Amino acid sequence: MTFQILVSDPVNQEGLEPLLSNEEVNVDQKTNLSEEELHELIPHYDALIVRSQTTVTASLIEAATQLKVIGRAGVGVDNIDLDAATENGVIVVNAPDGNTMSTAEHTFAMMMSLARHIPQAYQSLMNGKWDRKSFKGVELNKKTLGIVGMGRIGTEVAQRAKACNMSIVAYDPFLTEERALKLGIVKGTMDDIYEQADFITVHTPLTKDTRHMIDEQAFAKMKNGVRILNCARGGIIEENALLQAIEDGKVAGAALDVFEEEPATHHPLLSKPEVIATPHLGASTEEAQTLVAYDVSEEILRILKGEPFKNAVNMPSISSEVREVLEPYYYLGEKLGEMAIQLVLEAPTKVTITYAGELTDYDTSSLTRNVMKGLLSYHLGDKVNVVNTFHMAKSYNLSYSVEYSGSARDFTNLITVSIETKNGTRTISGTMLTGYGPRIIKIDDYSIDIAPDTHLLYIQHRDTPGMIGLVGTTLGKHDINIATMQVGRKEEGGDAIMMLAIDRPTDQNAFHDLGLIENITSVKDIHL
């Protein structure tokens, strides 16, 4: 059997070599097709490869009666209707790792240019000036580099920094002491980075927690003369705060490859001589463009041949019977994962997912993917999906296991997620209640009953009279409305927990006042 593959956008030819040299496939490269022409051709193809020009709509996917896989030779898949692809059983793959080296090298080039004022000195020379005094730089040697995010790119940057005799302190929610030791770096907190680093570079996805994570308060904690780099995602650094920190002399320089809104040709940061910038060039190398095409080509071959694959970005196909049973639990599983990871303060070392009751009669692998997606995506954002979640867990050295129990106590079904860290284990359990939907019914050894709402407040305290009133009054003072409240305790007067569903996130002032209440030991916002 010969598989038919259509390449509808210009794609690096060397990267297509796995397909072009394979006798089992026939590759047609037809670019600049009109929407009508593409609809007419697509029913004859088993695979489609695009970059950013072709928009893969629901109607196109429905017309592609033979299509098994769509490959995006790049990272983003905004031009592909993922829901339609999933509904029609079409796997969508991308190439998330093809730009690792190019982005790491670009980051390091920017850091060296920032340290030695290379772009500014070049421009001065091009303007006819021979000015050696204005561009005195600093060495990387013996400086401390703070790395926020130790995925593939952050790890590659760390290796290059070590070659320049830099000390490295890094923060990543999945970075363990053991992995840090193996990499020859120091595992620290964000405050450690702010206090110690001469250079700070960010390599995290853009999520609700990383958006503007480096803000006015963060700059205030940094060393005077710190230098900042962002070759990851625009929005991680609050740009107005960065501008002010440069004007105040706190930040000696910034190197930016990304901006919150692009193109950013008239951004006020570009007027500052302390800033060097490039127009989102992190992945713009010949090698990266070859690699993304090559990775997608290999993934498509594996899928067409029925072999294991890793970089799919939509739901894998399962039988309609199993999906009908498990689908109500997908949301619950994902929220259990999201809540569980927010309960731990240290990097997780192992995750155990236990299914009990009637769920044990089914293949729960797709449900496990949703649990792990929720757990990982809280910190990694949309880098994680239900197909690549196991691969992402492995890349962060996070092991997981699945267990089954015949007893679900008083519930038809029960899902329990346990996360082990070096300091212990945290556990959360949930179920589906008829007429009520998904419910969280236990945290560690405390029984509760609450829906996994968007904004939750988790309070640990001693069980003393009047505690509920004090919490309610304090939140009311800050205009935070309580939707529901659940209290769990082991014994009268002992340790207890309070879980509240609130209408909006808790601000820092409310946090401060809650912390002043006697017998409250910790307060935690949980965002779902």
Active site residues: 233, 262, 280
Q: How far apart are CA 58 and CA 462, in angstroms?
A: 55
Q: Return the H-helix or E-strand segment holding 161.
A: helix 152-163
Give which of 237, 232, 256, 293 is closest to 103, Cα–Cα: 232
Q: Tokens for 3?
A: 């598989």
Q: Please, is 338 exposed, middle or buried when counting C-beta atoms within 10 Å of its C-beta (0-12, 13-18, 19+)? A: buried
Residues 215 and 217: their CA atoms lie apart, in Å, by 5
What is the C-alpha separation between 146 and 156, in angstroms, rounded? 14
**CA 483/CA 501 separation, integer angstroms:** 5
Residue 28 pairs in a beta bridge with 6
**288: which 2 tokens?**
């990266």
Angle at 313 between CA 389 and CA 29, to 5 degrees: 140
Strands 167-171 and 186-187: parallel
Q: How far apart are CA 513 and CA 210, in angstroms?
A: 25
d(CA 473, CA 484): 15
Cis check: omega of the bond before 452, within 30 degrees of 0: no
Tokens representing 118 are 């290379």
